[in-house]
Amino acid sequence: MSSVAPAAGGVGVLPRRKFELVLAGMPRRRAAEKRFRLYGQIAIGLGLAFLVILFASIILNGYTAFWQTHIRLDVTLDAARIDPQGNRDPEALRRADYNELIRDQLRAMFPDVSGRRDRLALYGLVSNGASFDLRDRVLANPELVGQKIALWVPADDDIDMLMKGNVDRSVPESDRRLKDNQLAWVDKLAAEGRLQQRFNADFFTRGDSRDAELAGIWGAAVGSLLTLMVTLALSFPLGVAAAVYLEEFAPRNRWTDLIEVNINNLAAVPSIVFGLLGLAVFINFFGLPRSAPLVGGLVLTLMTLPTIIIASRAALKSVPPSIREGALGIGASPMQVMIYHVVPLALPGMLTGTIIGMAQALGETAPLLMIGMVAFIADIPKGIFDPATALPVQIYLWADSPERAFVERTSAAIIVLLAFLAVMNAVAVVLRRRFERRW
């Protein structure tokens, strides 16, 4: 650096001083290069770390919801109380007071509990749904009347949380949802082997409920399925038809430009705006029912249409012109070329785009909130006109519930939703890998 050698005279030869300057700068530049690289690695690491944290926290919070604490009760199905006439009439069996039977059993197990408040606390150990389980069991098998049966009933969600270790016993009693006497009863039940973690089938077969231990995702899953069926039935034909027209038949004029600008704009419209549109047009103007999968499907159709159109156009574009020319050459009309040659060849690409659009629709919450699919709906929807909710909306609803047990349920519902999304995207990837032809 301190060299003062005179510059060599030749044309095109770097003066020695400058060359040394460049050389001297190299370590610094290499270090900068390394740092830059490191920044890149850190950025990717951060992105992946976020992904891992997201998945880990959801799974760790949620996997326990697939098990539910059950309490074993030995219920005596007293014939005189369930079926006073003795004719096993289903109507009489349905009307019997099973709740009282369960309460009797609980009192018999803890005979020293007295006082109204303590008794209510005792009854609270067992889920509200226990009597319905018992009733269903008796209705399915009327011979049980008069016998003493061992019945596993779901425990209350607080007990469930206690057994899963989510309740801190060291907190002062006044700050706990479970009081000391309840803890003592639970410990006694556990010591007798009457508490067990069983597979939570209710979670997959029931609709929504205010009681966390009875809440399931089946209602929401059916709602999502119906909504997606409407979406698929409308958006695939519409999207493919629009793509075929724009890609193959549309003349290049202002009208076509207007359509294309609109499609590209709609792809960028926030999804909640589609909900506003659905509310104004489908519900208020056409008078379609609120909260119905039909309206949800219509709204999601409009939302996914740009995705499908754009993907279908790309698929059509990738069919080589030689196919078209060959078909035209042997006398097919342009429409015949399209229907018999180009569209079948582009179909895998179109289907891939459609599945990706469906996956997008499955995960969408905001537009469904606007059209009333956010209601509390305990029944399983039976058709596209019934009130329903959808999986992401169910997650949204549960996430608002204050009970600790709903945190677990929400995470479990998210796991199910992500599993559906993963399957759909995997199908799209497989479809693309297997059927997409490269020309």
CB 145 within 8 A of CB 88: yes
With CB under 8 A as the contact rule, the residue among 190, 267, 374, 431 that binds other proteins is 267
Site for other proteins in 162-221 (CB under 8 A): none
Site for other proteins in 244-263 (CB under 8 A): 244-250, 252, 258-259, 262-263
Name the nearest CA neighbour of 414 among 238, 220, 248.
Answer: 220
Q: Quick check: 310 binds other proteins (CB under 8 A)?
A: yes
CB 294 within 8 A of CB 373: no
38 vs 201 by CB, closer to other proteins: 38
Name the nearest CA neighbour of 96 among 135, 128, 145, 148.
Answer: 135
Question: Which residues face 149 on adjacent strands?
Answer: 75
Q: Quick check: 313 binds other proteins (CB under 8 A)?
A: yes
Size of the site for other proteins (CB under 8 A): 97
232 vs 393 by CB, closer to other proteins: 393
Q: Quick check: 141 binds other proteins (CB under 8 A)?
A: no
With CB under 8 A as the contact rule, the residue among 8, 23, 32, 79 that binds other proteins is 32
Q: Quick check: 366 binds other proteins (CB under 8 A)?
A: yes
Backbone angles phi, psi at 69, to 5 degrees: -70, 130
Distance of CA 207 to the CA centre of its chain: 15
Q: How far apart are CA 227 and CA 225, in angstroms?
A: 5
Q: Quick check: 383 binds other proteins (CB under 8 A)?
A: no
Q: Quick check: 296 binds other proteins (CB under 8 A)?
A: no
Q: Quick check: 371 binds other proteins (CB under 8 A)?
A: no
The CB-of-28 to other proteins minimum distance in angstroms stands at: 10
Residues in CB range of 431: below 8 A, 6 or more apart = 348, 351, 352, 355
Site for other proteins in 320-349 (CB under 8 A): 320-322, 324, 333, 335
Q: How far apart are CA 415 and CA 168, in angstroms?
A: 26
The CB-of-262 to other proteins minimum distance in angstroms stands at: 4
Q: Quick check: 265 binds other proteins (CB under 8 A)?
A: yes
22 vs 79 by CB, closer to other proteins: 22
The CB-of-143 to other proteins minimum distance in angstroms stands at: 38
The CB-of-297 to other proteins minimum distance in angstroms stands at: 15
Tell me how crowded residue 214 is: count the other CB atoms within 10 A of its CB: 22
279 vs 380 by CB, closer to other proteins: 279
125 vs 311 by CB, closer to other proteins: 311
List the structure tokens of 436.
């997409």
With CB under 8 A as the contact rule, the residue among 114, 147, 205, 264 that binds other proteins is 264
51 vs 378 by CB, closer to other proteins: 51
Q: How far apart are CA 301 and CA 312, in angstroms?
A: 15
Distance of CA 235 to the CA centre of its chain: 21
E strand spans, 368-408:
none
Residues in CB range of 225: below 8 A, 6 or more apart = none
Binding track, positions 52-91, relative to other proteins; x by CB under 8 A: -xx--xx--x------------------------------
Q: How far apart are CA 289 and CA 287, in angstroms?
A: 6
Q: Quick check: 421 binds other proteins (CB under 8 A)?
A: yes
Q: Quick check: 401 binds other proteins (CB under 8 A)?
A: no
Across the beta sheet with 195-199, the strand order is 148-154, 67-76, 195-199
With CB under 8 A as the contact rule, the residue among 359, 377, 380, 388 that binds other proteins is 359
The CB-of-261 to other proteins minimum distance in angstroms stands at: 9
Binding track, positions 92-111, relative to other proteins; x by CB under 8 A: --------------------
Q: Quick check: 237 binds other proteins (CB under 8 A)?
A: yes
Q: Kindly list the distances between the CA atom of residue 259 and the CA atoms of 229, 242, 263, 309, 311, in Å, as whole numbers in the listed order.
A: 26, 10, 6, 11, 16
